[in-house]
Amino acid sequence: MITFYMFLWQNTYNRLTSLTKANGMSWDIKPAVAISVYGDKSAFYNCDFLGLQDTVWDNLGRHHFKNCYIEGAIDFIFGSGQSVYEVCILNISLYYVHFDFQWQNTKTVLDHYLHKDCYIHSTNTLL
């Protein structure tokens, strides 16, 4: 088991702070992962994950995110993990948002997210 406490993972490639009208506000948004989680039984406590598209790639295994702040807009939490997000703040940073709530095309796939006591918030003041 790997445990992280009070870490910051930040994608600086195309966060909203770099997409301003002053520099042309390009909407050519590309995936840029802040963290990719493989393995099993990783735990994240009081951590921040900042990005725009594909912020947290919860790819494989069982993980626990508690008291975390996760910011993004398009598929900002995605993957095939079996994870618990507990008392987390999910900040939507655009008007357009897409959540990936783990769709499966077979009955044998065991990937799920549990969002327990999470707060969904939006700071889309840029648009």
Enzyme catalytic residues: 54, 75
- Give dist(CA 50, CA 72) in Å, integer: 7
Output Rg (C-alpha) for the chain, integer angstroms.
15
